[in-house]
Amino acid sequence: MPKQNSNASTLSSLKGERIAKWLARAGIASRRNVEKLIVEGKVFLNHQKVMQPATFVKDTDHIQVNGKLISFKEQPRLWRYHKPVGLITTHKDPEGRPTVFNSLPTTMPRVISIGRLDLNSEGLLLLTNNGHLARQLELPSNHWIRRYRVRVFGTIVQDKLDQLKNGITIKRIRYAPIIAKIDSQKGINTWLTVSLQEGRNREIRRIMQHFDLQVNRLIRIAYGPFQLGSLPKNAIDEVTRKALKEQIGKLTTPTGKN
């Protein structure tokens, strides 16, 4: 058996990588959208139109999408973006709603988001030109904390929120441990700071609803070591190459855990 696995690995290395995965890793589009581009006849390999997603490629191949040569020579870059309420984190929306990517400066290269913020959420959104970097920074094994300021309609006591430290199951969905602290209460509105690692879709809203609290404002203020700080709404700021290199290096060591 070990010999067969070794042979299979060698064969895979010789064949290369499926073109949909390769282009997704290059940050062109998701694998599904790459497959759509192939069907539309917009992807060429060594000057020949690609006919099926199962086509294998290598970094040395000549690959074009919409007439543009794609390569991995561009250095990975990372930006902090202050997403306002009312934008969705997707490149195209069937309903025609405004997107994060349509709001970016025209001088920006094509970028993808690291995680998402829903339509009614705001705050820090990390953007990168590199699909591999995006997946690396999203890995749960990084133990990176996502931190939010959350305003809820309703009141609650700290002891009840402390139940979240051991995780919670809601409607058969198990949520990982969460740290939630009361910052202030005024009338029937309460401000919380919520820290979590998992970051499931609408996780905070669903958990607050479980406590009969309605989220009326949700602001992400940190994603791992990257902070929103004083970045104005709809503004974008590139992380320096030195800072990016330092943080990526920490991901492979225990000291990189937050």
Express each pLDDT in 152-179 by its tens digit. Answer: 999 899 999 999 999 999 999 999 999 9
Q: Rounded to an integer, what is the distance from CA 98 to the centroid of its chain?
A: 19
Please identify which of the residues 118, 162, 183, 237 carries the catalytic annotation: 118
Closest CA to 115 of 61, 78, 150, 69: 78
**What pLDDT, on the 0 to 100 scale, is given for residue 258?**
38
Report all structural domains of the chain as residue ranges with CATH numbers, in order of start.
2-70 (3.10.290.10), 78-141+226-256 (3.30.2350.10), 145-223 (3.30.70.1560)
Active site annotation includes 237: no
* CB-based contacts of 152, cutoff 8 Å, min separation 6: 189, 190, 192, 208, 213, 214, 215, 216
Tell which wins on pLDDT, 93 or 46. 46
Q: Supply 61's token pair.
A: 């191949």
**What pLDDT, on the 0 to 100 scale, is given for residue 11?**
40
How far from 188 is each of 39, 122, 155, 213, CA to CA, in Å?
A: 54, 22, 6, 10
What percentage of residues in the chain have a pLDDT greater than 70? 90
CA–CA separation, 101 and 88 (whole Å) = 9
Q: Is the per-residue pLDDT at 2 higher than 60?
A: no
Q: Is the per-residue pLDDT at 130 higher than 90?
A: no
CA–CA separation, 199 and 7 (whole Å) = 39
Q: Is the per-residue pLDDT at 180 higher than 90?
A: yes
State the maximum Cα–Cα separation within the chain, in Å, rounded to a whole number. Answer: 69
Q: Is the per-residue pLDDT at 211 higher than 60?
A: yes
Q: Which long-range contacts (CB under 8 A, 24 or more apart) does 106-109 make?
A: 108/79, 108/236, 109/74, 109/77
Residue pLDDT, tens place only, 24-73:
877 788 888 899 999 999 999 999 999 998 899 987 788 999 998 887 55
Closest CA to 118 of 152, 90, 160: 90
What are the phi and psi torsion angles at 46 (to 5°)? Answer: 50, 45
Closest CA to 112 of 128, 92, 123: 128
**What pLDDT, on the 0 to 100 scale, is given for residue 59?**
72
> Per DSSP, what are the bridge partners of residue 45?
48, 63
